[in-house]
Structures are given as C-alpha cells and as structure tokens.
C-alpha cells in the first residue's frame, strides 16, 4: 500500500500497519511526539490499522487535533485519580475542549484543596506510565461491563447507541473508561497540567437531570506554555464582567430576587439608557416606526405563532392549562405583537416596507446552569425590529439591516471582534421546523445569495436556525472563549401565512409579505457585558456614566469646583465633584480606579485664571486649559462618539 505523507512524500508498505508503527518507521522522535493520526482528513487513534492507500498525517501536540487527544488522555488521568481518592464517585463524561478538558462526576462538589489533592494523585499516575490499551465489546456486553462497575451514566450512554454498535473502551492500568478516543499510547508523555476550577453542571445539560460536579483543567507539553496560559487566565480574570461590573457598581445580583435577574445599578442603567436613546434615534433616521406592546399575552397568541409548540419549555407560563380558563405567558419575543400592529389596517404595496422597532423587554426560562452574569439572563432588553416587505424589497431591506448592525458594532468599537454565521435548519429534525424541505432550500439559497452580494465572509451552521427561518448570526467570544450570538437577522417566509398578513398588490390581489426579524445592536445586557470586558470598564467617553470628576484641592475651592460642575452639566456632560477631605493624590487614584475619563483639578491658580488642570486616562497630565476649550473638546468627543486609546492605566 502507498501512504502519502503531509509533506507529499510517499511511503510504501507490503502489509497493514498501525498509525503509530508508521510514525516509528518515519522517525522514532516523531513516534514519541505522536498524539493521533489523520487518514484522508479524518482524525483517528494511533492504534488504527492502515490497510489501504491513503493520505496520512501524524498529529502532535502542535496540531489542534493532536493537542485535543493529549488533553483527552489527561482527562482520563483525572478520572482515574478521582476514582482512586473518591471510590464512590460516578463517572459521566470527560472531553477535551478548546482551553483544555473537563470531567463530570456524580460526587460532592470539589474544593480547591480537593483539586490540589487530585493533582498530586494525577502526578503519581503519570509517573507510573501505564500503557493505554483500546478494546471493544458488543453493546449488551458493554452495558453489563459498566453495570458491574457501578457506572450508571456510562450505561445510559451505551444504551443510546444502536443495538449493533461495537463499543470502544480504553484501559490504563486498573482504570477503564468508555471512550471513542483517540488517546496517547501511555500516560507517560503528559508533562504539564493544571486543574483550574470546579463547578456544577447538569447531566446532559438539562436541569431535569442530576447536578454533577465538573472539574476543569488544562494541559500542555511544556511547563513554560502552561505557566504562560495560567498567567493569561489571571490577566483575563481582571476583565471578567462579573467581577469588574460589580466593582464598578454597574450591576448586582441578589439571591432573594432570583438567578438570571440582575439589578442594573445607576451607573449601569445610565450606560444602557445612553445606548437605548442612540439606537432609537438611529432607527428613526432609518425609517423605523416605534411600537410599545404588552409584556405578556394569552396562550392563544403563541399557539398561532407556533411558539407554544416549539418554545413552550423556554417560556414563563402564568396559570394552569388544565384548571384555568385563560393561561398567559410572559413574552419571549415581540414578533407576534408587532404583526397585530401591522394588521390593524389593510396595507397596500405602496405602504411597504413597514419597519417596526421596539425596545423590548423579554423573558426566557433559561436553565440555571446556563446563566452567567449579564450574558445569559432570564429577563433582558433588546433592540428588536420586524420589517414587513414585498418580495422585490427583500434584498435591499436585508442589506439595510446588515448595514445598521455593522454601524452599531463600528460605533461601539466591536466590529473587529465578530464573526458571521448563516444558521440553517437541520433536515434530519424536520419536525422541529415550519414548512417543507423545498421551502427551506429556497429561503436558505435566497439568504446565501444576499450575503454573497453584500460581500460578507461567513460560515454555515446546520441546526441553528429559528423554527420559522434561517438567520444571519453575528457571533462574538467572551474573555473565556465562549461564543454567544450578539446580533441576529432572520428571514421568515412562514409566519405571515399563520397570522393572515397581507398587502394589496398593484394588480389588486392580496399577497403574502416576507418578514425580516432583526436586532440592531442585540441584547443591551449582553452588549454591556461584552463592552465591560472589551474596555476593561474604561468605556468610550460618550458611554461613560461619569465623564468628568472635578477635584478641588481643598475646601476653599469647593465653590469654584461647583461652578465648573454647573457649566459642564449645562453642556450635557455627566459630571460630579469630589468634595471629600482627602489629599488630591488620593482623589486622583480613586477616579482612575473608577475608570473616569477626565479629572479636572482646581485650586487657587485655576480659580484666578478661570481654567482647569486636566488629567485624563488618555494622556495623563494635559496641563491647564480654559474651561470653554475643555468643554468644546469633550463635547466634540462625545458628539462624534470617538474611541480614544487608553494610555494611562491604574
């Protein structure tokens, strides 16, 4: 057989050989570094036998898939260590992830001291250097094998596999785990790892299932790489919006109010208000008509839209369907409400497009394990809109929605941090969607053509569409690498029929319109979290809840400080005065810690000359300026929404 290697060279062998044997034939050093193989583009275990002509790559930890195999083996070492120290713990799953690996256990929660103890046991296991062996069993034997070991979660995983499936296991010493692989040849090559944290996680991600204890870890082949990553983790903790948002008094959470129901403090609420006014004014410039619709509706509305069928589990339902004459639900979206705004009068083709915008407070019953700070909450507000358009207007209006989203991202300084994804339906789960396969193919082709015309670079993802249409999702990652949808633009060719929406065309006949569902900036809370992390709390001046702090050197200059404050406020500048009996250096440090853009120091010289001494987080000490000049400069900065680079830090 002929084996074509990554560099294009060809190896010929008389008979079948495993991937690791081929690696050893190429180079003993390569075999020592090998973590997995790739045959004709498919990642395989090192033990996989090659018996035909193919293209083969030997993957090391320098390759993404190779590093994943390395980390996956480390997760098995973690599981073995936990079973040694806590024999009653039950094994769930333990995959590699982009940042390392995790393993879920049915066991009491793990403290930092527990993790340190587990790490020490893992080092013993690695030092033992047990050979890792793969073996398979028929499904029924595999179930019995795991039942005898007392591993109910593994049994459940096997039971979900086809009856004729051959189930693979990996053994390292006395420890055996159900696993598809791939894995290293032994535990010995694992050089540098760290258990990062422990948290709760529902089995299979559902709050209806048992709460498990998840241990997160990471692993590298070099100690220096591990130390560099741990230093990086420490640095991003300082940007975590959960920590920074509370330190800056932007938001808070309270147990008796409920998980996923954050309190926006005055500063956080001011930022949201500034963004909301900006968005609403911008949408009005672009021809949107503002609506204000109820926060709840009868079940009947959601039955028409099919949300009751497809989304009920994610809704807060008020009442009992079996007992009450009327059952209500808090709205998880605004579209059905705005459809009835449209239907209040018969529309002509001349009336279209109808662009409806609303600052919508929505409610979604998120799983408790999914909620996080401001990024995933149970009550949130979005810049929601629905455009009712004629078929010939669809592409122009879709383009306008993309342009608005890009304008918002650019103004906030976030455009470079996003990716674009076309979210499609899953034809293998057609029962979860409205319409036929032909209709979905048609509308997805339509979206693809529009995106290509606009020139957006995008990926396609199956199974991420709404049940009523495909979406353009604008994605961003938080500091920990988790990806969220920030803005979405959806095509809908189904709900107009369900709501009997129409317009009278030129020929006098009634036609069904298309609908575009969109957000201009997305969820305000999630965007605030994103910006806290992006700017480390040092927001662009126009968004800051406190733009200037006046710092009198002593009590003698309070009157002048208040005069400066009044003049600034008269020009719409958000200003406070620090009249505490503290030294000026302490006041400056406090203002810096609060990420305030400008500090105006005033004393005798400033009062006599009618000036202010300006300190900023951009240039440090900027010297004295006439108050009128400072006002002109900062007003221009706010008006143009300029994003200045922060030079002076804490």
CATH T-level assignment (fold) for domain 2-60: Ubiquitin-like (UB roll) (3.10.20)
**CB within 8 A of 494, min separation 6: which ones?**
434, 435, 439, 468, 469
Is 146 in contact with 229 (CB distance < 8 Å)?
no
Q: How distant is the alpha carbon of residue 471 from its chain centre? A: 17
Comparison of pLDDT for 588 and 366, the residue scoring more: 588
Q: Average the pLDDT over 37-45 and give the result.
A: 93
Decide the pairing of beta strands 354-363 and 289-290: parallel
Sign of torsion over alpha carbons 444, 448, 453, 457:
positive
CA distance 262 to 266: 13
DSSP 217-244: EEEESSHHHHHHHHHHHHHHHTT-HHHH
Q: Average the pLDDT over 74-101 and give the result.
A: 95
Residue 97 has a pLDDT of 92
pLDDT digits (tens, 9 = 90+) for 105-146: 999 999 999 999 999 999 999 999 999 999 999 999 999 999
> What is the per-residue burial (b if ≥16 Cβ within 10 Å, else e) of 47-72?
bbebeeeeebbbbbbebebbbbbbbb
Is 146 exposed, middle or buried, given 0-12, 13-18 or 19+ CB atoms closer than 10 A?
A: buried
What architecture is domain 256-293+333-535?
A: 2-Layer Sandwich (3.30)
Annotated binding site: 335, 386, 517
Residue 189 has a pLDDT of 94
pLDDT of 355 strictly over 80: yes
∠ at Cα 51 (45, 54), nearest 5°?
80
Residue 382 has a pLDDT of 96
Domains of the chain by residue range:
2-60, 65-239, 256-293+333-535, 541-640
Decide the pairing of beta strands 211-220 and 503-504: unpaired
What pairs with residue 133 in β-bridges?
Answer: 171
Worst-scoring range by mean pLDDT, 112-116, 267-271, 308-312, 539-543? 308-312
pLDDT digits (tens, 9 = 90+) for 380-439: 999 999 999 999 999 999 999 999 999 999 999 999 999 999 999 999 888 888 889 999
pLDDT of 299 strictly over 60: yes
Residue 200 has a pLDDT of 87
Residue 369 has a pLDDT of 66
- Within 10 angstroms of residue 158's Cβ, the number of other Cβ atoms is 22
Residue 282 has a pLDDT of 97
pLDDT digits (tens, 9 = 90+) for 627-638: 999 999 999 999
Residue 488 has a pLDDT of 96
Provide the mean pLDDT of the chain. 93
User: Which tokens belong to 302?
Assistant: 């959601």
Residue 83 has a pLDDT of 96
Residue 214 has a pLDDT of 94
Worst-scoring range by mean pLDDT, 69-78, 205-214, 549-558? 205-214
CA distance 506 to 391: 13
Annotated binding site for Zn(2+): 335, 386, 517
CA distance 71 to 67: 6
CA distance 517 to 433: 16
65-239 and 256-293+333-535 share one fold? no
CA distance 120 to 106: 21
DSSP letter assigned to residue 640? T
Q: Domain 65-239: give its CATH code.
A: 3.30.980.10
SS3 415: helix
Q: Average the pLDDT over 310-324 and give the result.
A: 87
Residue 649 has a pLDDT of 53
User: Which tokens belong to 176?
Assistant: 């055996």
User: Which tokens belong to 319?
Assistant: 């009442």
Cα 314 to Cα 255, 330, 365, distances in angstroms: 21, 10, 5
CA distance 89 to 72: 19
Superfamily of domain 541-640 in the CATH hierarchy: Anticodon-binding domain (3.40.50.800)
Residue 196 has a pLDDT of 94
**Of 160, 190, 195, the residue nearest 178 (C-alpha):** 160
Residue 208 has a pLDDT of 79
CA distance 174 to 198: 25
User: Which tokens belong to 220?
Assistant: 């590298």
Spell out the SS3 assignment of 522-556. EEHHHHHHHHHHHHCCCCCHHHCCCCEEEEECCHH
Comparison of pLDDT for 372 and 532, the residue scoring more: 532
CA distance 502 to 346: 8
Comparison of pLDDT for 218 and 646, the residue scoring more: 218
């Amino acid at each position: 057989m002929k084996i074509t290697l990554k560099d294009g060279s060809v190896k010929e062998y008389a008979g079948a050989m495993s991937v690791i044997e081929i690696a050893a034939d190429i180079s003993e050093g390569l075999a020592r570094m090998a973590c997995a193989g790739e045959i004709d583009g498919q990642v395989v275990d090192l033990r996989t036998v090659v018996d035909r002509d193919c293209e083969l790559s030997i993957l090391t930890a320098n390759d993404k898939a190779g590093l994943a195999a390395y980390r996956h083996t480390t997760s098995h070492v973690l599981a073995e260590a936990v079973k040694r120290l806590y024999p009653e713990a039950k094994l769930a799953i333990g995959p590699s992830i982009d940042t390392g690996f995790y393993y879920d256990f049915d066991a009491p929660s793990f403290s930092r001291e527990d993790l340190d103890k587990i790490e020490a046991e893992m080092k013993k296991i690695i030092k033992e250097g047990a050979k890792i062996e793969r073996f398979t069993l028929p499904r029924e034997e595999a179930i019995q094998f795991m039942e005898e070991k007392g591993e109910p979660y593994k049994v459940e995983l096997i039971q979900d596999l086809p009856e004729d499936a051959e189930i693979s296991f990996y053994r390292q010493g006395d420890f055996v785990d159900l696993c598809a692989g791939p894995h290293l040849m032994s535990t010995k090559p694992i050089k540098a790892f760290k258990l990062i944290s422990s948290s709760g996680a529902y089995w299979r991600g559902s709050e209806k299932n048992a709460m498990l204890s998840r241990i997160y870890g990471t692993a590298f082949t070099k100690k220096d790489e591990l130390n560099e990553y741990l230093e990086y983790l420490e640095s991003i903790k300082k940007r975590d919006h959960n920590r920074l948002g509370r330190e800056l008094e932007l938001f808070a959470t309270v147990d008796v109010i409920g998980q996923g129901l954050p309190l926006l403090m005055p500063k956080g609420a001011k930022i949201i208000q500034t963004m909301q006014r900006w968005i609403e004014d911008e949408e009005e410039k672009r021809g949107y008509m503002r609506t204000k619709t109820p926060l709840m509706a009868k079940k009947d509305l959601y039955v028409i839209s099919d949300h009751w069928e497809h989304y009920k589990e994610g809704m807060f339902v008020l009442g009992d369907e079996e007992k009450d004459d009327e059952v209500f639900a808090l709205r998880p979206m605004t579209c059905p409400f705005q459809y009835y705004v449209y239907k209040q009068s018969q529309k002509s083709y001349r009336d279209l497009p109808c662009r409806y915008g609303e600052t919508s407070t929505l409610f979604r019953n998120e799983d408790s394990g999914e909620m996080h700070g401001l990024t995933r909450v149970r009550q949130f507000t979005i810049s929601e809109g629905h455009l009712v358009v004629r078929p010939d207007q669809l592409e122009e209006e879709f383009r306008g929605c993309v342009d608005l989203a890009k304008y918002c991202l650019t103004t906030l300084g976030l455009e470079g941090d996003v990716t674009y994804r076309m979210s499609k339906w899953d034809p293998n789960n057609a029962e979860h969607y409205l319409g036929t396969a032909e209709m979905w193919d048609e509308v997805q082709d339509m979206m693809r053509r529009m995106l290509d015309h606009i020139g957006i670079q995008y990926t396609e993802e199956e199974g991420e569409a709404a049940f009523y249409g495909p979406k353009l999702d604008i994605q961003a990652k938080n500091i920990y690498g988790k990806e969220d949808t920030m803005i979405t633009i959806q095509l809908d060719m189904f709900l107009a029929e369900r709501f009997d929406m129409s317009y009278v065309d030129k020929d006098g006949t009634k036609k069904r319109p298309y609908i575009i569902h969109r957000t201009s900036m997305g969820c305000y809370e999630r965007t605030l979290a994103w910006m806290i992390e992006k700017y480390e709390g040092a927001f662009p001046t126009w968004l800051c809840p406190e733009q200037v702090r006046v710092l009198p050197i002593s009590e003698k200059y309070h009157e002048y400080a208040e005069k400066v404050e009044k003049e600034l406020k008269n020009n719409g500048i958000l200003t406070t005065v620090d009249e505490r009996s503290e030294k000026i250096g302490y006041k400056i440090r406090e203002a810096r810690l609060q990420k305030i853009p400008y500090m105006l120091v005033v004393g005798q010289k400033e009062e006599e000359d009618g000036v202010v001494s300006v300190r900023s987080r951009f240039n440090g000490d900027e010297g004295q300026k006439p108050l009128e000049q400072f006002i002109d400069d900062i007003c221009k900065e706010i008006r143009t929404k300029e994003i200045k680079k922060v030079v002076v830090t804490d």
